[in-house]
Amino acid sequence: MSDTKQKVKEFIIENFLFGNDEGLKDDTSFLDEGIIDSTGILELVNYLEEEFGISVDDEELIPENLDSINNVGAYLVKKL
């Protein structure tokens, strides 16, 4: 797993799963599994902007970019 994806995974586990990563896979949908809601997406975006020094545009707030560890990792590769 890339360092970027590992950082994202650790953030999700710490902030949304309260340290319990049971059942969390890189392709697990945050929305379908109820891991993150709409407010959580905003928290994730804030984290990504601060941690990786990027700016997430409104049109980029889509599941294809932010709905799993794999999706976030691919999105960050494009942004960085």
Predicted confidence (pLDDT) per residue in 46-69, tens digit: 999 999 999 999 999 999 999 999
- Which domains are seen in the chain, by residue range? 3-79 (1.10.1200.10)
pTM over 0.75: yes
What confidence tens digit (pLDDT) does each residue in 12-50 have? 999 999 999 998 999 999 999 999 999 999 999 999 999
Q: How far is CA 52 from CA 20, 27, 32, in A?
A: 24, 21, 26
Asked if 38 and 46 touch (Cβ cutoff 8 Å), the reply is no
